[in-house]
Amino acid sequence: MQDYKLKSIYLFQGVVGEGSLKTVKLFANEHAFVCEGRPSLEAGRKTSAMLLKSGITPTVISDNMAGFLFLRGLVKEVSIACQYADNKGALCDTGALILAVLASKHKVPVKLLAAERRTRFLGDPREILSFQGLQTAPKDTNGYVPLVEWVPAKYLKNI
């Protein structure tokens, strides 16, 4: 297992746009955590590929594992994919709000990165009721799949 405490650790959330990583001060041979990006796992694939091209070793985590990383002191900065931002907050890929709240509590800076532009803001419920063609929830279960969420500015202040 990697000894992550020896390196600066960044946590990336969402599908960042091409070129967004240039605004993050990452150094070759550093490590970064990448949230998988349910339901499509697109964030894990695309953001990891961009990091690898930059010489950064990504470690993909399940979206709900971030709290554990904060508790262990493994997160030094959070980078969130953002569709739109103003002085009231930011419209970000789903999952950003919990990371911003955790970062605020643990006094970890949050950086907004330009997101890959979305063409839809609500996903198909089947995306979370099945995985690779296998049903994951009982028949007649409903699914709700927002792909973006609003993060209030109070959680986006840099520490």
Q: Which of 86, 93, 124, 140 is catalytic?
A: 86
Take residue 11 and report the two structure tokens written for it. Answer: 């946590």
Take residue 131 and report the two structure tokens written for it. Answer: 């995985």
Residue 86 annotated as catalytic: yes
Strands (E), the chain: 9-13, 31-35, 57-61, 77-86, 89-93, 110-114, 130-131, 134-135, 148-152
Q: Which residues are catalytic?
A: 86
